[in-house]
Structure 1
Amino acid sequence: MNNPPLAGLVVKSSCYGLLLLATLVIFSISQVIGFYLDYYQMNAIYISFCAGFILFTPLVVLVLHPLVFVDKVQQPQSYFKVLIKNVGLVSLVQGLFFIIWMTDAIAVYSIYVDQDSFLAKAFNIHRENNTDFSSEFFWFNLFLGWLFSLLSLVLGVMPCLIARIDNNGVIKNFVSAFAIAKQHKVQFSFAALALAAATLIPLLYIKYLFILSFPIVVSYVFLNISSLVPKKTGNY
């Protein structure tokens, strides 16, 4: 495009539109999962799925990358070609993390929360001590929601962002991400808390609020942490 302001507007509109679409996809998946968990009377494990959704934040944030470089845009579509190249790797890594987490969560739920659940019976899971740890399971998942948010920002969002600004190779990008996160640990901690709250609280208690809270917080957090990345990260 020959008109820079118009090009910037197109990029911003496309980015926020894709973010809203991704939010609707996550929300739809959460409702389907919630329906089947309710059907099998396993509502207590729903929070584990909600915490697990946070692991897909780096994948969702990819659609916002052009916002960081919007002033340099000449052909906005070129950014989405780069986006397509990154989606495969990020989705594979985050998908594996999600599957591993949910497998462990289901096992913990079946052992410590509900031995009468469908899954516990299907896998013949038994435990001698029948103490109910449902309350601990809930708070443990809340903590994991914050931890997953922090890990997603440090291990997912930051390395991809650094690769776009000053790519020094995969290993150095991760080292730079850790160094920046360590230097700004308070900002990252609060950003992770905001992301976890914007995901867990709406999905658990005010489900339609998620459609509004998630994209707003994700975009705000991304734009703030992107400002922490220097133009040259090789010194970290």
Structure 2
Amino acid sequence: MSESSSVSRLSGEKIISYGLVFFASLVIFFISQIIQFYLGTYELTTMYISFCAGFILFIPLVSLVLHPLLLNKEGKSDTFHFRTLFANIGLVCVVQFLCFLIWMTDAIALYSLYVDQNSFLSKVFDIQTQARGDMTFEFYAFNFVLAWLFSLLSMIVGVLPCLIARLDNRGVVGDFVASFAFAKAHKGLMCLYALIIASSVLLTLLYAKYLFLVLFPSSLVWVFIQLNKKYILSSVSK
């Protein structure tokens, strides 16, 4: 009886986890649409890609709700208490939001310097520079590369340390060291996972916005599960 109740509780936690990651995706989607609308109002639609890239910085925060999906080294799911997550999520939200604001400040400067030297933003922030011609393509390419880099860094310094803390709990420093060691040992996979996540955000929000609600949470869940499995395998093989 207790075993069946434990199984049903774990199943319930997983359902909640999937629901929360979809809800987080929905929030990001609505925010992106509001931003896109106002950027269009001020004829700054080119900047939208920078906001899309910035959303990737929230991946460590969103991935926290996926922890009920984690398997331990015995291949079993441990009991997860969401109240513990919600008790500490406020500080994480503040840090992630600050990172997003810092990136957007830099993005505004880059846009004003290289894309539109006469834009509304250039006048508001008093950014003066010599005309450099139309560098819209370069701006897009730069943001795509940066989105991939944000995704890679988010996994290494955000997703993986939290995952390792749940499985091994080596301490803050130890978790980060283990994360970097894992990333170094699986460079190719980490780059691929980063590309998958970055593409699921940028390509969908830019060219097929409603697909974001399917591809982003699906990609994030799949990558998270793969990281969990790979880490367990690498730990067992040591």
Both structures adopt the same fold (TM-score exceeding 0.5): yes
1:95 deviates by: 1.7
SS in 1 for 2:89: helix
Residue 152 (structure 1) aligned to one of 151, 154, 161 = 154
Residue 7 (structure 2) aligned to one of 5, 8, 26 = 5
Is there any run of 5+ residues in structure 2 with no aligned partner, and where? Answer: none
* Alpha-carbon displacement from aligned partner over 1:1-45 (angstroms, at most 9, x marks no partner): 931221122011100000110010000000000000000000000
Q: From the superposition, tell whether residues 231 and 138 of structure 1 become closer, same or farther in structure 2 (CA, over 3 Å).
A: closer
Give the Cα separation in 2 of the matches to 1:199 and 1:169.
Answer: 32
Q: Which amino acid aligns with 1:180?
A: F
Equivalent residue number for residue 130 of structure 2:
128
Residue 112 (structure 2) aligned to one of 94, 98, 110 = 110
Give the Cα separation in 2 of the matches to 1:215 and 1:232.
Answer: 26
**TM-score scaled to structure 1, two decimals?**
0.92
Equivalent residue number for residue 172 of structure 1:
174
1:117 deviates by: 1.3
Moved over 3 A (4+): 69-74, 230-233
Equivalent residue number for residue 206 of structure 2:
204
Residue 189 (structure 1) aligned to one of 191, 215, 218 = 191
Q: Which amino acid aligns with 1:80?
A: F
Equivalent residue number for residue 217 of structure 2:
215
Q: From the superposition, tell whether residues 5 and 151 of structure 1 become closer, same or farther in structure 2 (CA, over 3 Å).
A: same
Deviates more, 1:105-114 or 1:224-233: 224-233
Q: Which amino acid aligns with 2:25?
A: T
Q: Which amino acid aligns with 1:172?
A: G
1:131 deviates by: 2.0
* Alpha-carbon displacement from aligned partner over 1:68-92 (angstroms, at most 9, x marks no partner): 1594445xxx520221134223223
Deviates more, 1:204-213 or 1:109-118: 109-118
* Alpha-carbon displacement from aligned partner over 1:158-188 (angstroms, at most 9, x marks no partner): 0111111111221121111000010011111
| Contact kept? 1:7, 1:73, Cα under 8 Å | no
Q: Which amino acid aligns with 2:122?
A: A
Deviates more, 1:165-174 or 1:178-187: 165-174
Is there any run of 5+ residues in structure 1 with no aligned partner, and where? Answer: none
Q: Percent identity among equivalent residues?
A: 50
| Contact kept? 1:165, 1:231, Cα under 8 Å | no
| Contact kept? 1:166, 1:232, Cα under 8 Å | no
Equivalent residue number for residue 33 of structure 2:
31
| Contact kept? 1:166, 1:231, Cα under 8 Å | no
